[in-house]
Amino acid sequence: MKRSVVWRWLLIIKNIYSDLKFIFGKLPKITRFFIILTFKSTVVSFLLSVLAVPATATYAMRFGFRVPVEGTAYIQFAIGCWSFISFVASIAVMVLVVAAFGYFKLGYVEIQNYVNNRQEDIDVNPNIALTAIDMLIFVFNRPLARFVETIGFFIKVTFHYIATTLFVFSIVVYIILSNGILGLHFSDNNMYYWSIGCMFLASIFSFGVWYAAAERPLWMLQGYLTAPLAILMAVALFSYDTYGSLLRVMRYGGGIETNITTDGKIYKNSEELIGNMLLRSNSSTFMLLDENIIMEISNSKIASYSAKYNAKWHMPKYGLVSQKNYIAIE
């Protein structure tokens, strides 16, 4: 009896899936593209909003204050929105790269068609007057065609490997430098961010050019990009100060310079705290004060927050690797 009920529900689900698949196949290509894009963006944003919980814990542990296990609901919502927008924007940029290279190919095909038509005209009427453009075309057409063919073959064979290598290398370098592994760190005045950013852009460009040269349908582009983009956003969420940057923009922490007025004197006989807000959870606010003191203040004791619209920010010079002295295994 139970088996028959389950089997009946499976048949219903299968029929609904078949109907939706049929309807989806009848939609225009551009409509299918945007439906897939919206669905994938929603899924990725949901996954990253779930990852916001361990990302918050990693952020707190990295900078040496209590992990807010009570939650940060607004931050999860913001990360979900940020992920949706970032995923859509990334796909859009890649589509533009592919489209630009595709139009370049179309332009080259038009030139080839002109050359062929002109050659036919000359074959039919040998006495036709040759222009300067004709002379240039006949001199450079064959070597140019061979050059384009060679470049096209090189792109199709190697560019996806180049894109993958650059992507993986930039991810590994970013993880090492952002977490202080091997004793290496980001510094305030270096080109690490720019170099790694350029590697990411080179990877995107290489993949876009390869995809256009490989002549694959546009809707398949999202399938190729979903996993790398999700990996990139997840790594960025957990590494170094990307999470802190989001908090600073939201004014929810990230070391933003903040003045807090409290109900009663709670620090150095004063009702005003001036420091850098690291994080606001559902129940507490974590402040970095003078002498590297991190203070947790209950939100119920805070009367007001204030910060300049262009407030400076500062984070503890600390990391997970620096906290190995707390680990003792006996």
- What's the chain's average pLDDT? 76
User: pLDDT tens, 293-310?
Assistant: 888 888 888 888 888 888
Q: Which two tokens stand for residue 179?
A: 């977490």
Sequence-separated (6 or more) residues with CB below 8 Å from residue 229: 44, 87, 90, 91
Given this model, what pLDDT does residue 179 score? Answer: 63
Residue 92 CA to residue 88 CA, distance in Å, equals: 6
pLDDT given at position 199: 79
- Most confident range, picked from 13-17, 51-55, 84-88: 51-55
Element (H, E) at 275: strand 272-280
What is the tally of helices (H) and strands (E) in the chain?
7, 5
In degrees and rounded to multiples of 5, residue 137 shows phi and psi of -65, -45
**Residue 87 identity (one-letter amino acid):** F
Mean pLDDT of all residues in 79-99? 76
1, pLDDT greater than 70: no
Q: Starting at the earlier edge strand, list the strands of the sheet with 284-288.
A: 294-298, 284-288, 272-280, 253-262, 302-306
Give dist(CA 150, CA 168) in Å, integer: 27
265 compared with 183, residue with greater pLDDT: 265
pLDDT value, residue 2: 53
Residue-wise pLDDT for 140-149, tens only, equals 667 766 776 7
- State the Cα–Cα distance between residues 140 and 117, nearest whole angstrom: 16
Please give the residue that has the higher pLDDT: either 257 or 44.
Answer: 257
CA angle, 274 then 77 then 224, to 5°: 125
Chain position carrying tokens 């899936």? 17
Nearest-angstrom CA–CA distance, 281 and 230: 26
Q: What is the pLDDT of residue 123?
A: 67
Residue 188 reports pLDDT greater than 60: no
Q: Which of 61-65, 147-151, 188-192, 277-281 has the lowest mean pLDDT?
A: 188-192
pLDDT digits (tens, 9 = 90+) for 201-238: 788 778 877 877 777 776 677 777 777 778 877 877 77
pLDDT: is 330 or 154 the higher one?
A: 154
Banded pLDDT at 189 (limits 50, 70, 90): very low
Task: Please write the tens of the pLDDT for every residue from 24-76.
Answer: 777 777 777 777 778 778 888 888 888 888 888 888 877 778 888 777 777 77
Residue range 111-134: mean pLDDT, rounded: 69
Q: Which residue has the tokens 């707390």?
A: 326
Q: Which range, of 10-19, 152-161, 216-225, averages the lowest pLDDT?
A: 216-225
Question: Which of residues 327 and 42 earns the better pLDDT score?
Answer: 42
pLDDT higher than threshold 50 for residue 240 = yes
Q: Percent helix, strand, coil in the chain (nearest 5)?
A: 70, 10, 20
Is 282 within 8 Å of 73 (Cβ atoms)? yes
DSSP-derived 3-state class of residue 235: helix
The pLDDT of residue 248 is above 80: yes
Q: pTM score, two decimals?
A: 0.65
Q: What percent of the chain has pLDDT over 90?
A: 0
The larger pLDDT score, comparing residue 106 to residue 51, is at 51
Residue with tokens 């009848």: 26
Amino acid identity of residue 314, one-letter, is H
